[in-house]
């Protein structure tokens, strides 16, 4: 069975955690391939709510092996505390596999993230402050620390010293901050070695062997397409590749082994942090979406910026990810509007534009061109089949599907595992 990728089609928080968890019972492996604990994936199982940051959402399914791939950046303190938190709630975490090639977020990366944001002032990105950008920067700069370095004290010390030689200059001279002592960082990191050792392995080998044995492997993206460092709204992006190609580089599984790419798409749009957002609402509709949709960040607690559905973005996500399906989430949140605006194109400096402009300047000038779709007043949460939805909700889904370029194969009508309408099976 070829592997599946499940990723965010917008700016994150589309409901990836719920969608992954839904499939968790039927897949053998769930793999995070990029990002780190900047992610916040909420999973609701019965009356239990879980907020996962670093662990793949498959960890909540007893027979599924959760994997943290080489493309992820791992804050060991966060990982251990997340594992402890789940164990205290009776979740078996012993099957976790952690790539020895994943890079570590150290205290100096988190410090650099925070001070550089402060330095940017009103030009800041609005990062989660979790050290993500600086850790990926070190990886690309070839001065990063990897999980496997925890098991060789001398190499670890050399690498930390080399990294800090440079960073301490920056911290002291540019940011007016105290230097960070290498020995202290090494000591802290060594303290994690024994606690993590049992999870660490060659995840690339494990995943390729699993695929050879016809096991089902699901890749769970963090963030979303428009936050991708290559394909997103740069520079207001995260520092990794949540798009489909990232699943390959972030796991060591080749593209020929992936058969399906599912884009998780919210029935409206949200964004956290700075950056352009053409359909953003600043009125009571925006407030209403935020209140009904519970649009508050799982990681930072920040209010999410809210706006109407943007079909230009959905089409773009189909294109850059090669999407085969959409999972449309939070349709239930749109109950209660008489008419629902949907952005079908942009007006940029007097021109109509149907595709996402590659130019940052153009995108900053993009004004949404709206089409009005009729709303509905019925509560959708009990709907089990597509036919259970009121006609206007069905028409809304069909219209979005047509505009977005891939079939809507599942619809979320509530946060719970069973509050899903499956139209085409994913497996
Ligand atoms: P992720 O980062 O993509 O996993 O998404 P988040 O967990 O950050 O945000 C999605 C939120 O929407 C969570 O609170 C989910 O429990 C909730 N959610 C997911 N799907 C649905 C849905 O279909 N309807 C409703 N009402 N809530 C949903
Ligand atoms: P999930 O997986 C929404 C945003 C931050 C900021 C930008 C860069 O829950 O969808 P970073 O800390 O990554 O350097 O911040 O990216 N961001 C997210 N927004 N959902 C997320 O994750 C995000 N992870 C990062 O708000 O604008
Ligand atoms: Mg989230």
Model confidence pLDDT, tens digit, residues 385-395: 999 999 999 99
- Looking at the DSSP bridge assignments, the partners of residue 97 are 67
Strand 269-271 to strand 305-307: parallel, antiparallel, or no bridges (unpaired)? antiparallel
| Encoded tokens for 94 | 């012993």
Domain 103-194 classified CATH 1.10.300.10?
A: yes
Mean pLDDT, rounded, of the chain: 97
Ligand 1 atom closest to Cα of residue 333:
26
At residue 300, the pLDDT reads 85
Helix 182-197 and helix 153-169, axial crossing angle in degrees, nearest 10? 140
Give the start-to-end residue ranges of the domains of the chain.
3-98+199-262, 103-194, 265-422
Chain Cα centroid distance, residue 139? 20
**Can you give the pLDDT at residue 162?**
95
If you average pLDDT over residues 335-350, what whole number do you get?
A: 98
pLDDT at 289: 98
Among protein residues, the one whose CA lies closest to atom 21 of ligand 2? 223
Instruction: Take atom 1 of ligand 1 and give the residue whose Cα is closest.
Output: 13
**Quick one: DSSP state of residue 335?**
T
Q: Looking at the CA of 296, which ligand is closest?
A: 1
Tell me which residue has its CA closest to atom 27 in ligand 1: 415
> Does residue 8 line the site of ligand 2, with CB under 6 A?
yes
Bridge partners, 65 (sequence order): 29
- 298 has pLDDT over 90: no
Sign, CA torsion 304/309/310/313: positive
Ligand 1 pocket at CB < 6 A = 8, 12-18, 40-42, 44, 294, 298, 329-330, 332-333, 412-415
Look at strands 339-348 and 351-353 and give their pairing.
antiparallel
Instruction: Tell the residue number behind the tokens 């589309």, with chain if given.
Output: 14
Kindly report the number of other CB atoms within 10 A of residue 161's CB atom: 13
pLDDT of 297 higher than 90: no
Ligand lying nearest the CA atom of residue 34: 2
Q: 26: burial class by Cβ within 10 Å (0-12, 13-18, 19+)?
A: middle
Q: Which of 10, 12, 14, 15 to mutate to test the pocket of ligand 1 (most atoms within 8 A of CB)?
A: 15
Containing H/E element for 167?
helix 153-169
CA 97/CA 200 separation, integer angstroms: 6
Nearest C-alpha neighbor of 237 from the set 222, 257, 256 = 222
Among 254, 397, 371, 357, residue whose Cα is nearest residue 308? 371
How many Cβ atoms from other residues are within 10 Å of residue 159's Cβ? 20
To test the pocket of ligand 1, the residue of 6, 18, 335 to mutate (highest count of ligand atoms within 8 Å of its CB) is: 18
Would you state the pLDDT for residue 270?
Answer: 98
Distance between Cα 294 and ligand 1 center (Å):
9
**Ligand 1 centroid to residue 217 C-alpha, Å:** 22
Gap between the terminal Cα atoms of the chain = 9
Q: Does the beta carbon of 128 lie inside 6 Å of ligand 2?
A: yes
pLDDT tens, 31-52? 999 999 999 999 999 999 999 9
How does pLDDT run across 85-142, given as a tens digit for each residue?
Answer: 999 999 999 999 999 999 999 999 999 999 999 999 999 999 999 999 999 999 999 9
Radius of gyration of the chain (CA): 21
Q: What percentage of residues in the chain have a pLDDT greater than 70?
A: 100
The CATH T-level fold of domain 3-98+199-262 is: Adenylosuccinate Synthetase; Chain A, domain 1 (3.40.440)
> In ligand 1, which atom is closest to the CA atom of 264?
3
Band of pLDDT at residue 314, cut at 50, 70 and 90: very high
| CATH (residue range 265-422) | 3.90.170.10
Q: Is residue 132 within 6 Å of ligand 2 at its C-beta?
A: yes
pTM of the entire predicted model: 0.98
Pocket of ligand 2, candidates 112, 125, 128: which has the most ligand atoms within 8 Å of its Cβ, to mutate?
128
Q: Ligand 1 atom closest to Cα of 414?
A: 24
**pLDDT at 299 > cutoff 90:** no
* Ligand closest to CA 20: 1
Give, as one character, the DSSP assignment of residue 257: G
Q: Tell me which residue of 223, 246, 220, 244 sits closest to 65, measured CA to CA.
A: 220
| pLDDT-above-90 percentage for the chain | 98
Q: Which long-range CB contacts under 8 A does 38-41 form with residues at least 24 apart?
A: 38/127, 38/128, 38/130, 38/132, 38/222, 38/223, 38/238, 38/299, 39/12, 39/222, 39/223, 39/299, 40/13, 40/297, 40/298, 40/299, 40/300, 41/16, 41/17, 41/220, 41/222, 41/298
Residue tagged 């080749």 (tokens) = 254
Question: 153 CA to middle of ligand 3, Å?
Answer: 35
Does the structure show a pLDDT above 90 at 334?
yes
Mean pLDDT computed over 376-398:
98
Q: What is the number of the ligand 2 atom nearest to the C-alpha of 129? A: 12
Q: What average pLDDT does this structure show over 185-191?
A: 98
User: Which residue's C-alpha comes closest to atom 20 of ligand 2?
Assistant: 12
Ligand 2 within 6 A of 225 CB?
no
Residues that are catalytic: 13, 41
Instruction: Using the predicted structure, report yes or no on whether residue 1 has a pLDDT greater than 90.
Output: no
Q: Which helix (H) or strand (E) holds 190?
A: helix 182-197
Q: Ligand 2 pocket, 125 CB below 6 A?
A: yes
Angle made by CA atoms 60, 63, 68, in degrees to the nearest 5:
60
pLDDT digits 0-9 by tens, 226-264:
999 999 999 999 999 999 999 999 999 999 999 999 999
Q: Could you give the CA distance from residue 323 to residue 426 in angstroms, rounded to a whole number?
A: 13
For the CA of 49, the closest atom of ligand 1 is 16
Distance 96 CA to ligand 1 centre (A): 24
Of the listed ranges 115-119, 245-249, 297-301, 319-323, the least confidently predicted one is 297-301
Q: How far is the CA of 32 from the centre of ligand 1 (A)?
A: 18
Contact 5, 242 (CB under 8 A): no
227 lines ligand 2 (CB under 6 A): yes
């Amino acid at each position: 069975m070829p592997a599946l990728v499940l990723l965010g089609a917008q700016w994150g928080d589309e409901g990836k955690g719920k969608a992954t968890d839904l499939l968790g019972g039927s897949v053998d492996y769930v793999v995070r391939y990029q990002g780190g604990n900047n992610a916040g994936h909420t999973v609701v199982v019965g009356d239990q709510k879980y907020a996962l940051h670093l662990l793949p959402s498959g960890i909540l399914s007893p027979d599924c092996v959760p994997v943290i791939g080489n493309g992820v950046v791992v804050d060991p303190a966060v990982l251990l505390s997340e594992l402890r938190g789940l164990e205290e709630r009776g979740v078996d975490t012993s099957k976790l596999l952690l790539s020895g090639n994943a890079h570590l977020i150290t205290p100096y990366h988190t410090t650099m993230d925070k001070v550089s944001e402060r330095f940017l002032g009103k030009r800041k990105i609005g990062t989660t402050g979790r050290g993500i950008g600086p850790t990926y920067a070190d990886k690309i700069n070839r001065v990063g620390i990897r999980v496997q370095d925890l098991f060789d004290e001398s190499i670890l010390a050399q690498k930390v010293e080399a990294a800090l030689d440079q960073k301490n200059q920056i911290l002291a001279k540019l940011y007016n901050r105290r230097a960070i002592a290498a020995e202290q960082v090494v000591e802290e990191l060594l303290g994690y070695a024994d606690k993590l050792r049992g999870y660490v392995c060659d995840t690339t080998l494990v995943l390729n062997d699993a695929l050879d044995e016809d096991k089902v492997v699901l890749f769970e993206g963090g963030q979303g397409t428009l936050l991708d460092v290559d394909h997103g709204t740069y520079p207001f992006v995260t520092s990794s590749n949540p798009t489909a190609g990232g699943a390959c580089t972030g796991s060591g599984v080749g593209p020929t082994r992936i058969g399906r790419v599912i884009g998780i798409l919210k029935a409206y749009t949200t964004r956290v942090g700075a950056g352009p957002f053409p359909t953003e609402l600043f009125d009571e509709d925006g407030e209403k979406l935020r209140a009904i949709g519970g649009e508050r960040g799982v990681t930072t607690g920040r209010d999410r910026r809210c706006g109407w559905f943007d079909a230009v973005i959905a089409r773009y996500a189909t294109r850059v990810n090669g999407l085969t399906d959409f999972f449309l989430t939070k349709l239930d949140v749109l109950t209660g509007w008489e008419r629902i605006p949907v952005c079908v194109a942009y007006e940029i400096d007097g021109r109509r534009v149907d595709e996402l402009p590659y130019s940052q300047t153009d995108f900053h000038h993009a004004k949404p061109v709206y089409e009005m779709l009729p709303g509905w007043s019925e509560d959708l949460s009990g709907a089990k089949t597509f036919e259970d939805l009121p006609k206007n909700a069905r028409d809304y889904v069909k219209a979005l599907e047509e505009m977005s370029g891939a079939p809507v194969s599942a619809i979320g009508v509530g946060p719970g595992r069973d509050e899903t309408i499956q139209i085409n099976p994913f497996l």
